[in-house]
Chain A
Amino acid sequence: MTRHDLKLSRRGFVKGSAGLTFSFAISGFLGARPEALAQSGGLAQTISGWVTIGTDNSILIAAPVAEMGQGVFTTIPMIVAEELDADWSKVRTYFPPPVPGLFGNPRFGGILHVVASMATTGYWDKVRMHGAQARRVLMQAAADKWNVPLTELTTEPSVVVHAPSGRKLSYGEIAKFAVVPKEMPKISEADLKKPSDFRIVGKSVARLDIPDKTNGSTIYGIDVQVPGMVYATMLRSPVEGGAPEIVDDSETKKIPGVTQTVKLRDAVAIVGSTVEAVFAGREVLKVTWKGGATAGFNSEKALPEYAKRARTLEEKGLSYKQAGDADAAFAKAAKVISSEFMTDYVHHAQMEPMNVTVSVNEAGDAAEIWMGSQAVTVSIGAVAGLLKTKPDRIRFNQHFLGGGFGRRAYPDLPVYGAAISREVKKPVKLIWTREQDVKAAWMRPQTAHFLQAALDDKGAVIGWRHRVVGEATTGYSQPARLEQAKGLDPLTLEGAEHLYEIDNLSVEYLREIRGTALAAWRAIGSGFNKFAIESFVDEIAREQGVDPVELRLRMLQKHPRGRTIIETVAEMSNWKAKPAEGRALGFAYADVWNTPVAGAAEISLDRKSGRVHVHRFWTAVNPGIVVNPDVVVAQCESNVIYGLGQALRERNTFVDGAIAQSNFNDYEVMRMSDVPEISVKVISTPDRPTGIGEIVLPVVAPAVASAIFALTGKRMRHLPFTDERVRAALS
């Protein structure tokens, strides 16, 4: 895609259709597709909501999933193009209007939403069908034109072929005369391609969004400017949910360009004619806050309390997973190994600070939103709720996301933006400062874990107990979901299950209520649960003098995909060999969302400073059918580095109810000098594709912790392994 092309499609989206849509006009929304193509190729046919064919053979395919770096702007259309049998070099992609159903993810009930690495796996069947339907429509049109039976036709990339007569028509030629049927043809499983016939899926295709990302022309939410807009920023209560009681904005209003302040439920907005004015105004705004759910909370004091609950077996938790009779297994065990782990709060720290542009109409019953969001349908619903209007009165313009990692999966910003715009009666571009982004972070909760293994006299693990203590992530953002799950928070408990073949098992959850703002964070609960589980597996192995890789293989007899992955990484990392002097290897395995993954870390450490250096990281994944191999590799690299951040440095703490950190100086993320040499192997099997965006992350911290143990004999039990904690462990 050229720079020019993307601009066309984007402008088309914003400005709306001039009316070249032949069919499938999407009521209530403006279509970009036809005129974007018309400008490059004359006429165009929208074959379905997903596919538009230009008479110049150009092909435009919808890419409805939020692009936050994971490559879906390219990979979802690749799947459509595969079944369409398109010439990929002619394909361009765009963000379609957020029509639920048509463009929604079946995995989330058809809404436009992306979390939990569910895009490719959720859309797989649906977009294959749309591609195949569009192909069938083109073939049928050619069959009618030639007056031959459909069964005599085949396709080559972007060409319909009638072999008996040697005739051919390109998709663009067919678009000139084709009439799109009112009802799309029925496609059965048998009509779809076999994976062995794939031409596009499985090839490393260059991402279509990359050229623009090298020349500054990609438009993120924060880049939007609309006529007549003003700027706003916010000072949010430092204590979660606190309300502004007394607002002294006298200094703020002295700043040239600041026009007003707006009291919100838990914040004060500063509004003005420039960003620099409202940011400066925020610095001098004085607010007295009242109440708030985290009032008085000191997280570092609280965490040992969590750990105490975890190890106090008299307090029963909610049963998350149960197999056999764990109590009986422990009663008859020849040996019991017990262990504890803790993890700190972390937040997303996506590079693009939270922002939104919203324009509420004069009557206050309709709005237009411009932003990059993982939660499009939810945001529309939330703003409609605020304005007490219907969702079809809210127009949403999706943009590229400057990182998501879960933070952009919630509707908080559009609701704030709409509230401010309604008050000032103008379009508002609301931008949070980085400080606000950190101070009002929605975090992965801090947790404590108590684990026990019952061993028989031969050393086999016959019983497993894991007690997870922490806040319920959905308790903050989706209380109804928590209630539906009967208190077993699906996010905090994500990854607390595992495939190890242990007959007697009990996984329990003990909820903490501390009032903090929580969110899905890359890999969700697997980040801390797999740290605890995999560190413990390593501990069990070392305690018995068994190779940790061997122990995992013994406990995965019935899981060939997992075994292959473990064996692959053992081979990649030369696991059996003795590492160089001063270095050591550590290993971990996980199987979150049915994508088996293993990782091995090679580390050294500076005993004086306590700094851990990760030199190499090897990982292998098996996500079934791989749509775009290089994108999978890139996601694995990204996971290793993001995972190292939470393993080594990243932590948020609460002091007297407020988050203590404020910017990248005290919330340290990985920099180039922290990054190891990363080796990735992607194993493809003809299984339905599974997610990849957050799969490797869970193995990173436990692999590093195991390596530290191998090097020093000290077990790091508290994430992150800061220099200070490593020094303390070694002293």
Chain B
Amino acid sequence: MTAVMFTINGKTVKVDAQSDAPLLWIIREHLKLTGTKYGCGAAQCGACTVHVDGKAVRSCQIQMSQIEGRKVTTIEGLTEKGDHPLQKAWIVEQVPQCGYCQSGQIMQAAELLAKTKTPTRAEIVAHMDGNICRCGTYPRIVRAIERAAKEA
């Protein structure tokens, strides 16, 4: 067991776990922030996307030992009230169906908007293509990102 200290959603936490434990399970099961989802465990689907030091990463691929002193943000911490322009646009465009992938989609999209204020359609698709939505909400995700970019 290793003790690791890092910041999650603005709070400093100390977690005891195996050094090779994926950050995903630390977030979900140890810290009980279940908005981040397990989909594939192999960086194929993007359901587990969180921000580490502001960068969107697949938390299933990050090990405990890599997280000491880092700043992790999950969907629960994206904003205090869940009112990020993307979250508001997601509701207006009625994006989610089953909803399981949507935390990852929003975290991935948030990185895009942080870098690129008004992304083109092609930039959106290129940035989002690693995130699978099995319900096929892609057309609405695109619309919601465009709306958020406009209204942010």
Binding site for B on A (CB under 8 A): 3, 67-71, 206-207, 209-220, 222-223, 225, 231, 256-257, 274-277, 279-280, 349-353, 400-405, 431, 433-435, 630, 634, 637-642, 663-665, 669-673, 675, 677-678
Contact = CB atoms under 8 A, between A and B. Distances in A.
Contacts of A68: 98
A337 B50 CA distance: 56
B42 A663 contact: yes
A351 B25 CA distance: 17
Contact of B136 (A71, A223, A640): A640
Most buried by B among A69, A71, A216, A641: A216
Contact of B32 (A225, A274, A669): A225
16 contacts: A67-B98, A69-B96, A215-B87, A231-B29, A274-B17, A276-B22, A276-B25, A351-B45, A351-B100, A351-B132, A353-B38, A403-B98, A637-B139, A637-B140, A664-B132, A675-B138
A670 B134 CA distance: 8
A672 B128 contact: yes
A3 to B, nearest CB: 7
Contact of B82 (A3, A405, A434, A664): A3
A209 B94 CA distance: 10
Contacts of B140: 634, 637
Contacts of A638: 97, 135-137
B141 interface: yes
Given A351-B101, A351-B134, A671-B132, A664 B29 contact: no
A209 B99 contact: yes
Contacts of A211: 82, 91
A634 B38 contact: no
Given A350-B98, A434-B41, 6 more contacts: A214-B87, A276-B20, A351-B132, A664-B45, A675-B136, A678-B139
A215 B35 contact: yes
Contact of A672 (B39, B96, B100, B138): B138
A433 B36 CA distance: 16
A400 B99 contact: yes
Contacts of A677: 139
Contacts of A223: 28, 34
B98 A351 contact: yes
Nearest to A676: B139
A125 B124 CA distance: 44
A209 B96 CA distance: 9
Contacts of A206: 91, 94
Interface residues on B, range: 35 or more
**3 cross-chain pairs, A with B, having the tightest CB-CB distances, nearest first:** A216-B35, A641-B136, A402-B100
A206 B95 CA distance: 11
Given A210-B90, A214-B87, A219-B34, A642 B129 contact: no
Contact of B94 (A207, A257, A431, A669): A207
A214 B96 contact: yes
Interface string B135-152: 111111110000000000
A47 B25 CA distance: 43
Nearest to B128: A672
Contacts of A671: 129-130, 132, 138
B104 to A, nearest CB: 9
Nearest to B78: A215
Given A257-B18, A351-B39, A351-B132, A210 B100 contact: no
B59 interface: no
A646 B131 CA distance: 19
A216 B74 contact: yes
B44 A663 contact: yes
A216 B44 contact: no
